[in-house]
Structure 1
Amino acid sequence: MRKVKAPDIKIALEELKIALTYKNGAFKYELELEEEKKLEVIYKEYEDLKGVANDKFKSDILKSATNDAIYNAYDETQENNRLYSLRSRILLSVTRCPYCGISDADELDHHLPRSIYKAIAVYVSNLIPLCHKCNNKKRTITGEKIEERFTHVYFDEFPDSPLLLADITINDDALSVKFKINEVGISELRFKQLSFQIGRINLNGRLVKECNVYLSSIASMIEDAYGDNNTDKLKELLISQHDTNKRIFGINDWRTVFLFSLANCEDFCGGGFKAILNKLYPQ
């Protein structure tokens, strides 16, 4: 869960025109000057409203044929098509998916679905880099229900304090981790939206395996730090790793949150990790 640097919008209309022409310069669909001006207004309103769903983006002020042409023009962002450079530029702006932080961001998502908001189907600020699983889970979310809006990774601001928390317990020599949204420092509405978001993408279910894999990657460091019952040294290691991940991935990346919670789990740092690691990777 993190914010992404917004893409350059200066050539948004020109990119749309490219998508509406063939390589030889012939028009697939030619925009009228009056409609170009209307699109510029729509793009500006999208920026002003920071991508929050609004009927203005349904483009009733454009001709039906124009809406359909723009809707179909998005296909030009696919590999080897006219706007593939736009797709590459957006995907290269991040590594992992900004929603889950688990998988590579290898797909584009319409923050507001193009089936409803056709006029912004090719507008760069409405195109979000994310992974296949998050894209599939978000696909049917329209953004019209205020409590069921995904964060806009270009526009939404996050506080400096952690938004994502993890509750850790040890049961039957197994680590149980439950991620949740921190209510402190955010509005009730934002809390509901973020809670809906992590539930929708099944963050907890997907992170069960990831936490165990990550734990195995630092197992030797944990064992060396703990040595002969040195709980404090183990906590120092986990906090140090947390600080490093915070700089690299951000304060609300699941790995950062996971490490902080491990460092504050007395059972884990008191030697409970041994049984967990042994159960994960029996000798």
Structure 2
Amino acid sequence: MKNLKPYSENSFAFFETVVKKKRNEDLKDRLDLIKSDIQTKFNDYDTHFQKNILESLSEHDKFSKQQIEDFEELYSYKSATFKKLLITLSTSDNKRKMGCPYCGIGEVSTFDHYLPQSRFGAFTTHPKNLICCCGKCNPKRGNRWLDANKKRATLNLYLDILPDVQFLFVEIDIMIDKVETKFSLKNSGNINPILFSMIDSHYDRLELCDRFSENSSDIITSFVNTIKTYQNLGNFDSILKNTLEALSKDQNAFGYNHWSTILKIELIKHKDFKLLLKY
């Protein structure tokens, strides 16, 4: 899981580009009639986004059924405009394409609407409301974003700065014929309770700890094979030390609590790690 940089250009100009690309002239005419209302809402979103108070935005319950359908017709993550946006938002500063920022397992392939389309129809195409993610995380995240007290219950990776302290942990059981893992969250680094609650909700809703364990086998096999290769090139303790230093750099690149990095670090520290190198 890693923070993202939000769309930096004019949000409403992006909306106008999306509309311009559409061939449906009736759609364009209907949207033109409410253009000023849409622009006002886009400006409201940007203001609330800048202040990190998105929960204060009112739901869009005054648009007609036809207008809601028009907003939905504008959005197509397969269109050239949204593909370009997807590439922009999922490319790091060093021009490397990032994996899914929600899970760190899958590849970015779609957008999650942070404020749900069903309640905030006009923001269906707002670029700051679109968070790139994989096809598994998007449906799991669903429409829940507020708790019973009307406070945000879901992480926004543009706004909620993830702490550079460990909150993801893994227990590893190394046996002769297999390795079992169990991931869990712990607030052992004095993370702000509100932020940690959102992190916990994010992991629970996306079933991340279970998904990490399901995907651990391939990571472990590849990592052990790499260490085996290096084993014959020098002092084993030095190899492990250098590997830990490399993994520390991975934490800077992919997020401090990236699941595969945490797994590799704990493997190296495990008292029975050398057993894996014998098979």
State the TM-score, normalizing by the size of structure 2.
Answer: 0.80
Instruction: Give, in angstroms, the shift of residue 233 of structure 1.
Output: 3.9
Deviations 1:52-100 (A, max 9, x none): 433x24135x54368515632442x333466554344334565200011
Matched, 1:7 2:2: no
Paired residue total: 268
In structure 2, the residue matched to 1:90 is 89
Cα distance in 2 for residues equivalent to 1:57 and 1:147: 13
Determine whether 1:16 maps to 2:15.
Answer: yes
C-alpha contact 2:60 2:119 (8 A) present in aligned 1: no
Letter of the aligned partner of 2:130 in structure 1?
A: L
Partner residue, 1:182 = 186
For residues 106 and 261 of structure 1, the distance between their equivalents in structure 2, rounded to whole angstroms, comes to: 30
**Distance in 2, Cα, partners of 1:31 & 1:215:** 57
Separation of aligned partners in 2, 1:65 and 1:163: 44
Separation (CA, whole Å) in 2 of partners of 1:14 and 1:109: 20
- Given candidates 161, 168, 172, the residue that maps to 1:168 is 172
- In structure 2, relative to structure 1, the CA distance for the partners of 1:84 and 1:256 (3 Å cut) is closer
- 8 Å Cα contact 1:169-1:177 kept in structure 2: yes
Q: Does 1:110 align with 2:139?
A: no
AA of the residue aligned to 1:128? I
* Correspondence for 1:58: 59
RMSD of Structure 2 on Structure 1 (CA): 3.1
**Partners of 2:252 and 2:50 in 1: CA distance:** 30
Which consecutive unaligned segments of at least 5 residues does structure 1 have? 279-283
Matching residue of 1:46: 48
Q: TM (normalized to structure 1)?
A: 0.79
Q: Give the letter for the 1:124 counterpart.
A: P
Structure 2 gaps of 5+ residues are none
Asked whether the equivalents of residues 242 and 260 of structure 1 are also in contact (C-alpha less than 8 Å), the reply is: yes
Query: 1:103: how far off?
Result: 0.9
Shift of 1:36: 4.4
Relative to structure 1, the CA distance from residue 38 to residue 263 in structure 2 (aligned partners, 3 Å threshold; closer, same or farther) is same
Taking the aligned partners of 1:148 and 1:173, their CA distance within structure 2 comes to 44
For the residue of structure 2 that corresponds to 1:121, the secondary structure is helix
In the alignment, residue 188 of structure 1 is paired with which amino acid? P
Q: 1:199 to 1:156 in 2, by over 3 A?
A: same
Contact 2:169–2:183 under 8 Å retained in 1: yes
The CA distance in 1 between the partners of 2:53 and 2:115, in whole Å, is: 8
**Structure 1 residues 68 and 92, CA, compared in 2 at 3 Å: closer, same or farther?**
same
How far residue 45 of structure 1 moved from its aligned partner, in angstroms, is: 3.5
Quote the residue 2:157 is aligned against: 153
User: Cα distance 1:50–1:67, how it changes in 2: closer, same or farther (>3 A)?
Assistant: farther
Identity across matched positions, percent = 21
- Name 1:137's counterpart in structure 2: 140
Question: What is the Cα deviation at residue 24 of structure 1?
Answer: 8.3
Which residue in the other structure is 1:272 paired with? 275
